[in-house]
Amino acid sequence: MTMITVEVVLETYDAVDFTAWPITEPSGDRLLTLSGRMPPADVGTAMAVLFSYNGISVTHATDLTEARLERHLAEAEGLIAPGGLRFRDTGTGVSISPGCCFGLENWRDWWDVVRGQETWLGHDPTPHVTHAGHVIRLRQHEEDPAFIELAPGELASLLTTAQQDLAGFLGLAGRWAATTIPALADRLVPALDQYFKIS
């Protein structure tokens, strides 16, 4: 039976050669799925990406202090992350991966698609949305013949699932931070929640 699924994914290229805390080996597609079911090393990988991608250098976990994070947040006006939402059709095997420059911090823009709006979803790959009557068609590229088709209500339900997965990840991040970077634990989770618009 065909089923459309969604995953919250993070690109892991920025975790290469990271040694400040344990991380996992990258998958072949370099995408890490975020949820409340991740092992600690996967959470560590996600955190390595977040710190590296945002230019917060860290050689040892003890290098990180609340003051350093606050200074970065003030200067950069937030946190961003490479990745986003990946949609799959289990029946056809079609997969739509997030586009470049439309990071995890933009995931709520998919609600504009539910409301029938055209929205930019990144490039290279360039996810393309077409509203055809009462259905939404998602293509990895505008010219691709393969697509995922779903109703606005289905997409809304998938976005709710994505938010639940992000909330689950946020809980794990709090537990991970309490043991790995305790000096930052109290500030890190609210920052992740705020800048990735989780709750």
| Residue 26 DSSP code | P
- Residue-range domain boundaries for the chain: 10-81+169-189, 83-161
Q: Which stretches within 2-109 are classed as H helix? A: 40-53, 66-76
Alpha carbon distance 132, 159 (integer Å): 20
Question: 154: closest CA among 2, 7, 1, 4?
Answer: 4
Q: What is the number of helices (H) and of strands (E) in the chain?
A: 5, 7
What tokens does 147 get? 């697509």
- Reading the chain (199 residues) residue by residue, the pLDDT tens digits are 679 999 999 999 999 999 999 999 888 899 999 999 999 999 999 999 999 999 988 888 888 888 888 888 888 889 999 999 999 999 999 999 999 989 999 999 999 999 998 888 998 888 999 998 899 999 999 899 999 999 999 999 999 999 999 999 999 999 999 999 998 889 999 999 999 999 9
